[in-house]
Amino acid sequence: MPVPLKIALDLLADHRIEIKKDAHLTSLSPCSVKRLDSDNSRRLVRMNNLQGRAKAKAIRFLNEQDLLRIERAFDRMENGNFGYCIKCDAKIPLTQLEQDPAKSLCPNCDGSQNED
């Protein structure tokens, strides 16, 4: 296995573990409504709990998206397509793969996607 591929494999595996830990911690911390005396305090607590749930949901969604990107990168490694753009088959620069081993688009295709 080439050294850059081994490094990317290790980085992706470590990132996947971090995401799964974060997902586990997020699922363990549900926002519970606290009982307070005044109506205003209760309302604020409910709003805070709703905001906390929305944040947790957004974090879970982003973690799921990251896991999908990582799994697809592992698939590309197994198929021998790692490091090549999925749109135009151009080689993705090593510097970009070092920054983001799950990267699937070359700079040209990535730039055209961001302009939309």
pLDDT of residue 25: 62
Rounded to whole angstroms, the Cα distance separating 69 from 53 reads 24
- AA identity, residue 53: R
Predicted TM-score (pTM) of the model is 0.63
Predicted confidence (pLDDT) per residue in 81-93, tens digit: 999 999 999 999 9
Predicted confidence (pLDDT) per residue in 19-53, tens digit: 877 776 656 554 444 454 567 777 888 888 899 89
- AA identity, residue 30: P
- Nearest CA to 34 out of 17, 48, 53, 23 is that of 48
Give the H or E element holding residue 86: none
Indicate whether 68 pLDDT > 50: yes
Residue of higher predicted confidence among 18 and 115:
18
Domain locations along the chain: 3-115
- AA identity, residue 11: L
For the domain made up of 3-115, the CATH class stated in words is mainly alpha
Contact in structure between 42 and 36 (CB atoms under 8 Å): yes
